[in-house]
Amino acid sequence: MLSSYAKREWLTIIAIGAMLTVTFCIVGQWLLAVLALLATLAVLSFFRDPERRIPTQRGAFVSPADGRVSSVHEVEHFEPFDGPAVCIRIFLSVLNVHVNRSPCHGVVKSITHRPGKHLNALNPESAEVNEATLMVLAHPFQGHPIAAVRQVAGMLARTIVNAARVDQTLQRGQRFGIIKLGSTTELYLPKAHQPQVVVNVGERVYAGTTVLANVHPPRPGKLPRSGEAESESESLHAGDSAAGDHADADTAGAARAG
């Protein structure tokens, strides 16, 4: 299965690959024909979009991207949360699946594109200065932010697609976009929600499948330092059990950079 977010690219690749393969066959260059076919299949694999089995346990936040965890750190002040946050950064190589998935059940509160540089994604500075798109997810009933996903462009990956819409409800593991040819994806969680990160730096993760962190409601009478009423108990995770690998019917509003 190939991603619908890169349909123009893989249709072009198929057309060129087919033309070269047929041309080499006509002139009797069988080795070149085989090489052209293999090269076409290899490039098409960049846009693959496999089905995933989405975890259903309450309070789980899954990975928004395939790749390796390159950093787990705290951010002193993350503006969309108006407070501190925990960031889990994932590096995507050109060999990884590039489709992004929602880490949780939530409502899209905002989608913000930031112009920037295109440094190599292996450079730690790239996550801070490169072109990026930030999507903030809010609690489906109470409306406060519960997570944010940042798609970061790289030296080769200069096209970010975010097909979600503001006020759209995303289920855990639902596809919402793609970063073409790799780069970096970050998951931010409010520190006030006391997320328990369950992955380590260097660990390989898979979008929609690997649990990155668990969030449990605070005990009654013990509210977070931010002072917000976080005693939502069951409602914080409402709708998690319904999370699944939904088809993306809406592709309008795609944010394209580059």
Total H helices, total E strands in the chain:
3, 14
- Smallest Cα–Cα separation from 248: which of 62, 112, 100, 66? 100
Burial of 234 (0-12, 13-18, 19+ CB in 10 A): exposed
Provide the residue type at 210 as one letter. T
Answer yes or no: 93 catalytic.
no
Asked whether 51 and 207 are in contact (CB, 8 A), the reply is no
Q: Which of 70, 183, 233, 241 is catalytic?
A: 183
Measured CA to CA, the distance from residue 187 to residue 150 in angstroms comes to 7
Active site residues: 183
